[in-house]
Structure 1
Amino acid sequence: MASSDDDWPSYWWWRDGPVSPGDCVIVDIDGVLADAAHRQHHLDGPWRDWDSFFADVGDDDVLDEVAELLVLLAPELVVVALTSRPTWVSDATLTWLVKHKLRWDLLIMRPMGDFRPSPMFKGEQTEALAELGYLPRLAIDDDMRNVRMYRDLDLPTLYIDSGYHPH
């Protein structure tokens, strides 16, 4: 299944081992590939229960339209699943990706102890990818904060309105 080794950050997982650098597409998971609607109630109210929200990731349905879009992308494109999910749900996330036969080459998750806003984390990872020769050509995200960050990096971005994030 997935692999992570000493040459890569511990929060990066390759599906079948590292692939050669080249053009890539960055795709978010929650609200883009995964339907997290059944978990949203954990974030209602004044106290957001992020632990419970993430504990249920294995029960998500697939959002078929984006899954199909990934299938239709040119085969030479590297598909990077870049998510703000914490690494403590990496096993559940990897199992979910494989179970649903989704296209992905690299999974990047938020390392433990990283509580920065999503755009800071994802922006840093996007720049790290580019520095390693994985040149982002498109990003797909449901959080307008991330969309604005990607567009500030001059990266074309497809916005998916999951209904989870205020505009």
Structure 2
Amino acid sequence: MIPTGSSPPRRFPALAAPPDAGPYGGGMREHSRPLAVFDLDGTLADTAHRAHFLESRPRDWPAFFAAAPDDPPLAEGVALARGSADECEVLYLTGRPERCRRDTVDWLAAQGLPDGRLLMRRGDDRRPARRTKLEALERLRRTRDIRMFVDDDELVCDDARRAGIRVVRADWAVTPAALRDAQGRTGRT
């Protein structure tokens, strides 16, 4: 069963999908169906094997993102995304930088996840995920019903819930402290 929700819109310039058509990139959308919005890291993808790149100073961001194609899928999140596709248009909202698009699209396809738009962070945007993702959700709500938003980041989930968005907190994976800090403070994922 898929939950429902609503809230006032705001402008969101930070995350964007390119205008090209095709799976995970854009193109035609079914505006009559509600959206099921999924985060990637810690929700669909298990990042534990690459968290060590964020534990040292300076953090090794290039290596962290280069290892993303090897992320094991998180079964609970993958099942929820697949099940949501029956009633909703699936959309992926990630704090990964745009330069990771090809690897991310390939990973989504390899996991057999439903086709859907992929919204990614611009390379120069270092704002916290709780700000960029909420802005993206509010922008989406201007024209679409968001049936549910699924994310592992507690701060993002709390802000989305306060904004009136139906949230499913992805608590099926342990988010390493270094990744939590990166999401909340350094605006990198």
Q: TM-score, normalised by structure 1?
A: 0.85
1:113-158 Cα deviation digits (max 9, x unpaired) = 1111001110111111112x22212111111111111111111211
2:148 — aligned with what? 138
For 2:17 and 2:36, the matched residues in 1 are separated by 15
How far off is 1:34 after superposition? 0.6
Stretch deviating more after TM superposition (81-90 or 46-55): 46-55
For 1:44 and 1:32, the matched residues in 2 are separated by 21
How far off is 1:104 after superposition? 3.6
How far off is 1:99 after superposition? 1.5
2:100 — aligned with what? 89
CA gap of 1:66–1:53, structure 2 versus 1, over 3 A, is same
How far off is 1:74 after superposition? 5.3
| Aligned pairs, number | 158
Structure 2: gaps of 5 or more residues: 1-13, 181-189
Q: 1:98 aligns with which of 95, 100, 109?
A: 109
For 2:92 and 2:145, the matched residues in 1 are separated by 14
Q: 1:77 aligns with which of 74, 81, 88?
A: 88
Structure 1: gaps of 5 or more residues: 1-8
2:17 — aligned with what? 12
Cα RMSD between the aligned structures?
2.1
Hey, which of these two has a bigger chunk of strand by percent? Answer: 1
1:51-104 Cα deviation digits (max 9, x unpaired) = 211111111111112111222225241111100000111000001111121124
Q: 2:124 aligns with which of 104, 107, 113?
A: 113
Q: Assess if the C-alpha contact under 8 Å between 1:25 and 1:136 holds in 2.
A: yes
Q: Look up the SS of the partner of 1:61 in the other structure.
A: coil
Q: TM-score, normalised by structure 2?
A: 0.76
1:154 — aligned with what? 164
Q: Look up the SS of the partner of 1:71 in the other structure.
A: helix
Stretch deviating more after TM superposition (48-57 or 143-152): 48-57
2:174 — aligned with what? 163
Q: Look up the SS of the partner of 2:51 in the other structure.
A: helix
Q: Percent identical across equivalent pairs?
A: 32
Q: Assess if the C-alpha contact under 8 Å between 2:36 and 2:84 holds in 1.
A: no
CA gap of 1:93–1:74, structure 2 versus 1, over 3 A, is closer
Stretch deviating more after TM superposition (107-116 or 66-75): 66-75
Residue 130 of structure 1 aligns with an amino acid whose one-letter code is: R
For 2:29 and 2:82, the matched residues in 1 are separated by 18
